[in-house]
């Protein structure tokens, strides 16, 4: 009898089990391998981290290198590893990854510990993380997601191990500490130190460094303002971990833990108060040149031409002018809101809460306050000091005075303001109004935001560097820049460029054109005063802004040459070849007009306004600088300007302003190689800007424009200015726009005044009356501390005093021209028709817009009634003419 093998059943069971396990292991291995292949297949490369350059904010600097603004999507200050204090490094290592210096990218023990903890915590709670610093770098820099999944954690681990193979530990930690988000808009430790403690990184103590190390786990939950106890507890925990790893002694850790957690608020710079318009225009230029990424994250250092004190003064002066016009022409418009039940005996607590709940209206200035009328008859008001958030600045504390933010204040409205309000709506108890506390006593001014707008540009006439740019009443209320974006009609401020074309064609300032009625079809242009002088010299016509002479001059020259001159100067991009355009019926901006007038001051060169001097990248390398002027080397040679455009320093005419050397200007490459000045060479300024008109012609216009301010339409603009100045008024059709443009040998300022939607400023509200006084104040500010320069005649012209027929004048005459002589010229204007003028394509004029203007000069108040043909009647139905008025 055969005996059955012992344990046969068990051997079969074990064999089957082993087979199943082998198949399972093989299948599992295949699945795991396929998962691994799937994970690693789409892993990003880590080699890019070797050339890591963090996104860094760009900074704008004024002409004196004062910080004006910061441009950034994320507030980040890059700190290289060598500049990071050890206490900061140790705080983050102790809190986030104590084995950072020994592991190879992942910490298996931490992963097991976190897994066991998660199993015991139950469902519904976020898993405990076990990511090393290297894994966090992989997530932040390469994955860009915080999704909780096994696949993401696996990718982190694989990427971390690859990063450890490519980068040293120091570079990994540098990337981490500069990229981690630490709350309150701060990215990286440099920005966090500034945000929470308002100090640089190297000035942090142990407690402050530990607090930064506490933030990566949850910047929101450990915010020291919202959760001070939790923040202090987490900080102390980090101090304990620092003591555990030996980076801090137990005694130092206990001492740091005993310190209170005190933060100091930080206000992000910029734009600097008053510089918003300028900074925004620079930002637009950078965006156009480099795009969003480089502008906001490229770490550019942008050095601008901004003169901050002048900018702030220009803004204040413009606002004063806008308020003065608004007060005189618009009247008091009433309260912003009304609080019922308010009277002289009302408990202050009752109106305080209501006043705090009212938002300041757009355009309300920082120094104004919201106030409630407590006694309308007496003009007593109450307000909360600090009810408007101050934007900072060097004078903010002094302006607020001794009053504490939110403190209850009361005062009386100034008598003149009370009378002003009573002429309209008057003040009633409970009215919510805007007031401005006065410097002395308990008086306040009653304020309102004007509807009228304005713009100011001041630039260096020789270089085109913009020193001040104000684009309107309030940047916070409207970011539309009326200095650079608003296309407006310049009116008679365009006329000097018609006369410049005449000078270029050899016509002298004493040439006479007929100032008499003329009609082209249905277009009947007229002078502002509606009188006629008969034959009039160009000098007198430009001084008193005579429309009919300008029209006849433009007809003689041909509008094609006039248009070419305006386009080449950059005043307009294009213009219609019609006679009304000669009176300023074209569109330009304040900045473009400033550049065109600078060309007159610079002797006919094309001056392109620039806001930026140079741009440096994050490594300090200059990547852009304004062109046109450059320094070249050469021995001093007699003669002012050579044929190649090189200004010879030794040959400048006596009294001429010295050449302005553009900061950082480089040698200009030309046909011959240019070299930088050597130690034994005198630098020379090379001017490669195109010449639009001759120096002689530009000086002839300047001489005539000086008389505009001395005794013409620009008298008010020149009051109290003792240095030589030249300028021109401008008033567009229907008094919609008021301009004044003027200059000294080195400074140009242009002022514009008007409504955003073209609307009349009012009868007789001319450029000389409105814009001229503002220009006067801005120029007085700009000229402080500058030498008094004269307009120096170029070679080839002679200054001659002669009788124009309307008084004695001084003009510049070129070789071959005789003062006081008027040549016989063809009367081209009589050969033109309505179709030639393009009048049928222009907007209708208002026939009564200057009715009653009489002989009174609104700009200077001088009697203009004397002179030939002053009694000639205007054509029936005649109008001022489309374009310039005065």
Instruction: Please identify every residue annotated as catalytic.
Output: 96, 492
The Cα–Cα gap between 311 and 318 comes to: 11
From CA 884, how far away is CA 747, in angstroms rounded? Answer: 25
Backbone φ and ψ of 861, nearest 5°: 75, 15
Burial class (CB in 10 A: 0-12, 13-18, 19+), 39: middle
Query: With contact defined as beta carbons under 8 Å apart, do 59 and 302 qualify?
Result: yes
For residues 792 and 653, the answer to whether their CB atoms sit within 8 Å is: yes
Are the C-beta atoms of residues 701 and 496 closer than 8 Å to each other? yes
Q: Would you list the DSSP string of 612-670? A: EEEEE-TTS-EEEE--SEEEEEE---SSSB-TTSEE-GGGPPTTPPPPPPPTT--PPP-
- Find out whether 353 and 339 touch, Cβ atoms under 8 Å: no
Tokens of 394: 């060097």
d(CA 279, CA 261): 36
Select from 475, 464, 439 the least CA-distant residue to 598: 464
Alpha-carbon radius of gyration of the chain: 37
364, 243 Cβ separation under 8 angstroms: no
Q: Does residue 529 sit in helix, strand or coil?
A: coil
Task: Please name which of 516, 409, 486, 489 lies closest in space to residue 767, comparing C-alpha atoms.
Answer: 489
E strand or H helix at 29, and its extent? helix 8-41
The residue length of the chain stands at 886
Q: How far are the Cα atoms of 80, 102, 474 from residue 163, in angstroms, in the given order?
A: 19, 14, 51
Q: What DSSP assignment string belongs to 393-446?
A: -TTHHHHHTTPPTT-EEEEEE-HHHHHHHHTTT---TTEEEEEEE-SSTTEEEE
3-state secondary structure of 838: coil
Q: Which H or E run contains 67?
A: strand 67-71
- Identify whether 219 is preceded by a cis peptide bond (ω within 30 of 0): no
Cβ contacts of residue 313 below 8 Å, gap of 6+?
Answer: 468, 778, 781
- Give the whole-angstrom CA distance, residue 103 versus residue 275: 51
The total of other beta-carbon atoms located within 10 Å of residue 617's CB is 15
H or E element: which one contains 727? strand 726-731
810 vs 787: CA distance, rounded Å: 24
What does DSSP assign to residue 729?
A: E
Closest CA to 172 of 117, 100, 269: 100
Say how far apart CA 164 and CA 145 lie, in whole Å. Answer: 20
The beta-carbon contacts of 824-830 under 8 Å, at least 24 apart in sequence, are 825/507, 825/511, 825/513, 825/556, 826/556, 827/514, 828/555, 828/556, 829/518, 829/551, 829/552, 829/555, 829/556
Rounded CA separation 292/300 (Å): 12
C-alpha to C-alpha distance for 170 and 61, rounded to whole angstroms:
33
């Amino acid at each position: 009898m055969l005996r059955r093998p012992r344990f046969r059943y068990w051997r079969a069971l074990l064999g089957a089990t082993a087979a199943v396990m082998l198949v399972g292991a093989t299948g599992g291995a295949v699945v795991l391998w396929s998962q691994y292949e799937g994970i690693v297949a789409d892993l990003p490369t880590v080699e890019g981290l070797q050339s890591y350059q963090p996104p860094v904010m760009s900074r704008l600097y004024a002409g004196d290198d004062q910080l004006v603004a910061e441009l950034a999507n994320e507030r980040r200050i890059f700190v290289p590893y060598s500049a990071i204090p050890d206490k900061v490094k140790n705080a983050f290592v102790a809190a986030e990854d104590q084995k950072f210096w020994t592991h190879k990218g992942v910490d298996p023990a931490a992963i097991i510990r976190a897994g066991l903890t998660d199993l015991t915590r139950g469902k519904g709670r976020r898993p405990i993380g076990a990511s090393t610093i290297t894994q966090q770098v992989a997530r932040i820099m390469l994955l860009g997601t915080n999704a909780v999944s096994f696949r993401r954690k696996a990718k982190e681990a694989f990427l971390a191990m690859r990063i450890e193979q490519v980068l040293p530990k120091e570079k990994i930690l540098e990337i981490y500490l500069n990229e981690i988000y630490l709350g309150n808009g701060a990215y990286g430790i440099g920005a966090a130190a500034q945000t929470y403690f308002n100090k640089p990184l190297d000035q942090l103590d142990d407690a402050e460094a530990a607090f930064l190390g506490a933030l990566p786990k949850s910047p929101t939950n450990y915010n020291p303002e919202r959760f001070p106890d939790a923040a202090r507890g987490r900080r102390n925990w980090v101090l304990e971990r620092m003591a555990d790893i030996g980076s801090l002694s137990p005694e130092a850790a206990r001492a740091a833990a005993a310190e209170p957690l005190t933060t100091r608020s930080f206000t992000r710079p910029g734009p600097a108060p008053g510089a918003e318009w300028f900074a925004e225009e620079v930002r637009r230029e950078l965006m156009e040149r480099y795009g969003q990424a480089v502008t906001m994250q490229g770490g550019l250092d942008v050095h601008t031409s901004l003169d901050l004190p002048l900018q702030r003064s220009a803004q204040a002066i413009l606002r004063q002018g806008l308020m003065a016009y608004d007060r005189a022409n618009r009247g008091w418009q009433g309260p912003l809101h009304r609080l019922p039940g308010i009277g002289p005996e009302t408990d202050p607590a009752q109106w305080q809460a209501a006043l705090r709940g009212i938002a300041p209206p757009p355009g309300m200035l920082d120094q104004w306050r919201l106030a409630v009328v407590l006694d309308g008859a007496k003009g007593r008001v109450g307000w909360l000091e600090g009810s408007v958030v101050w934007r900072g600045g060097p004078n903010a504390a002094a302006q607020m005075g001794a009053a504490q933010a939110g403190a209850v204040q009361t005062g009386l409205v100034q008598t003149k303001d009370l009378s002003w309000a009573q002429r309209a709506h008057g003040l009633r108890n409970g009215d919510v109004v805007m007031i401005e506390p006065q410097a002395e006593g308990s008086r306040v001014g009653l304020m309102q935001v004007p509807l009228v707008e304005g713009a100011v540009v001041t630039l260096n006439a020789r270089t085109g560097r913009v020193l001040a740019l104000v684009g309107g009443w309030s940047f916070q209320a409207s970011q539309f820049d009326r200095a650079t974006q608003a296309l407006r009609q310049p009116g008679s401020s365009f006329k000097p460029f018609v006369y410049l074309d005449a000078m270029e064609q050899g016509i002298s300032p004493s040439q006479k054109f007929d100032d008499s009625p003329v009609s082209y079809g249905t277009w009947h242009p007229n002078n502002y005063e509606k009188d006629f002088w008969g034959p009039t010299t160009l000098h007198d016509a430009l001084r008193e802004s005579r429309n009919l002479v300008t029209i006849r001059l433009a007809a003689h020259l041909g509008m094609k040459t006039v248009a070419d001159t305006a386009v080449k100067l950059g005043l307009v991009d294009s213009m219609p070849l019609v006679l009304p355009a000669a009176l300023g019926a074209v569109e330009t901006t304040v900045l473009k007009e400033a550049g065109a007038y600078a060309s007159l001051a610079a002797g006919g060169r094309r001056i392109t306004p620039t806001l930026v001097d140079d741009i440096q990248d994050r490594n300090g390398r200059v990547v852009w600088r304004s062109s046109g002027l450059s320094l070249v080397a050469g021995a001093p040679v007699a003669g002012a300007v050579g044929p190649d455009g090189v200004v010879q320093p030794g040959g400048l005419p006596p009294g001429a302003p010295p050449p302005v050397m553009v900061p950082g200007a480089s040698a200009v490459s030309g046909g011959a190689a240019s070299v930088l000045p050597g130690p034994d060479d005198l630098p020379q300024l090379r001017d490669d800007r195109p010449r639009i008109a001759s120096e002689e012609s530009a000086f002839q216009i300047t001489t005539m424009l000086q008389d505009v301010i001395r005794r013409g339409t620009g008298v008010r603009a020149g009051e109290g200015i003792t240095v030589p100045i030249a300028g021109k008024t401008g008033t567009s059709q229907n008094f919609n726009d008021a301009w004044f443009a003027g200059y000294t040998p080195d400074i140009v300022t242009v002022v514009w005044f008007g409504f955003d939607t073209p609307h009349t400023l009012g009868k007789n509200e001319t450029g000389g009356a409105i814009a001229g006084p503002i220009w006067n104040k801005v120029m007085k500010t700009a000229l402080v501390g500058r030498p008094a320069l004269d307009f120096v005649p170029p070679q080839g012209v002679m200054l001659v005093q002669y009788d124009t027929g309307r008084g004695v004048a001084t003009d510049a005459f070129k070789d071959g021209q005789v003062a006081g002589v008027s040549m016989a010229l063809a009367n081209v204007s009589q050969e033109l028709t309505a179709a030639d003028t393009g009048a049928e394509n222009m907007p209708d004029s208002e026939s009564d817009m200057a009715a009653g203007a009489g002989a009174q000069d609104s700009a200077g108040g001088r009697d203009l009634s004397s002179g030939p043909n002053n009694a000639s009647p205007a054509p029936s139905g005649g109008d001022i003419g489309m374009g310039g008025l005065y």
